[in-house]
Every structure is written in structure tokens, then in C-alpha cells.
Homo-oligomer: A and B are copies of this chain.
Amino acid sequence: MKIGKATVPRTSICTSDEHSIVVRGRDLSKDLIGKVSFVEHFFLLLTGKPPSAGEAAVLNATLVAIAEHGLVPSVQAARMTFAAAPDAMQGAVAAGILGCGSVVLGSSETAGRMYSEIDAQVQAGTAVGTAALAVMQAWRAAGQTIPGYGHPQHKARDARVGALFDVARAAGTDLRFVAIAEAVESLMPQVLNKDLRLNVSGAIPAVLLGAGFPVQALKGVPILARTAGLIAHLFEEIQQPIGFALSYQATRAMVYDGELPEGFGSHE
């Protein structure tokens, strides 16, 4: 059945014949394996051109920053899934990735879109603070939260934020989205009546958008980073299984607040 207009599949990422695999115009075996790092390769796959040294440094830093944060819900979901289905590591990784959603890890992309909106006004001549205030108020008016600020555990500015900004400064990439992110931060008390500080999900687009990373691919950064963390957790799960222990602990304090049939529990 035909859905939509396009009927011929087109791609400009990769082609191959019996002799070679071409990735973004380069011979994979001759020009890329051993010549570029995995993160440079990711940037090339995504954008069609290799990153500068500074762009690669920033992308590396963001992936390191977001790869791991302990037994968070997505890691628990992956370890429980692996405990139940140990033959399919890919299934456990998939279960973990499915938790990279709008609430927990998706705010990098949303923050990136907000910063891009502010940047469009700045490029058109508006002062950063004015543009930031206008966009923040517009988002609030539309019922949207301001993404990238506040953290359930880190009340002060998350230490990862400063570390990422330091990397961007040292890398010499464009810092204008960092300025925008900080403008938003300083306006939080005025707009939201809360002193919410930049978190890692706000800092990631702030440095990546200045490093040539496309805004529509931002969601890929936490997904790729967490995949590395998930694999480490699943390898630990093989050696020291806790998937079922997590599930047991989770329900020790459980309250069943539904109906019970007559006589339930009377055996005990």
C-alpha cells in the first residue's frame, strides 16, 4: 500500500558494492577505519562532513556528560528486562532507550529548539535578554515548561554544566547559545518565580548548537550516550545480577488499594 508521496527510497549516507562500502563519500575501509574516532564518524554520518577538532571535543564532552547517572529508571528497566530475557541483550538495551522520553532525557532537544527560537530573534537584531524573555513568555503562554532547568537532586547549578561550558570555551566553538542559555537562567526567577539553575539537558544544546550539531538530531545525543551506559550495566548484570532484586525492592512498600475477595489472606 502506498502511504505518502515519495515512492523511490533515496539516501545520501551510504552505498556499497562487492568491493567497498562508501560512507558519506568516503571509502569506509581506506578512509575511515583507523583514521577517524567513533565520535568523529558519528558527526560525519549525521552531517555529511567531518567535525573540526573543537566540534569533536564538544560532542565528546556532551556524550561523556550524559552517558551515566546510576540506577535511574531507564537503567532499572533495562536490567529487569535483561534478567527476564538474558538471551537478548539488544532487547534490554532497547527497553532502556525507550525511557529516553520527553520527561527524563528528551529536554535536551526541546531546550535546543527554544534556544534556536531565541537565536533567530537575536540574529534579527534583538538583544539577547529581550529575545530570551519574549520566547520564555511565549512558551509559558502556550502552556509549555521551560526545558533544561532544575534537577530533582542537584539544587545548585549541576556541576556538569560548568564543565561543558569550560570545554566549549577551550574548544573555540561558537558560544552564542551558551550566552542564550545563561540569559534564560538569569530570567527564571522573573518568569517562573523560581531560581531554577541550568541542568545538563540545557547545557548540552547550549554547547552543541555552537559546534555545528543539528537541532533536530539533538535527541540522538542522550540516546547514543545512554546506550553506552546501558551496555556497561548489562555487562555488570551478567556478572552480578540485580534486575530481580530491584523489582523486589520496588514493591516492598507497595500498597494494594483495590478490592479483595472474601477470605483473601485468611490462610495466614
Contact = CB atoms under 8 A, between A and B. Distances in A.
Interface string A132-171: 0000000000000000000011111001101110110010
Contacts of A235: 46, 214, 216-217, 220
Contacts of A41: 63-64, 67, 228
B254 A9 contact: yes
Given A101-B88, A223-B227, A260-B25, A77 B81 contact: yes
A52 interface: no
Contacts of A125: none
Given A97-B93, A241-B4, A29 B160 contact: yes
Interface in A187-215: 214
B11 A258 contact: yes
B102 A163 contact: no
Interface string A52-66: 000001011101110
A13 to B, nearest CB: 6
A231 B46 contact: yes
A253 B74 CA distance: 18
24 contacts: A1-B16, A7-B249, A9-B251, A10-B254, A11-B242, A13-B70, A13-B258, A16-B153, A20-B261, A28-B68, A34-B170, A38-B38, A48-B258, A71-B247, A74-B80, A76-B247, A77-B78, A85-B88, A86-B101, A87-B88, A90-B91, A214-B235, A220-B234, A224-B227
> Which 10 A-B residue pairings sit nearest by Cβ, starting from the closest?
A85-B101, A25-B259, A12-B258, A220-B231, A45-B232, A29-B159, A15-B256, A94-B94, A77-B77, A38-B63
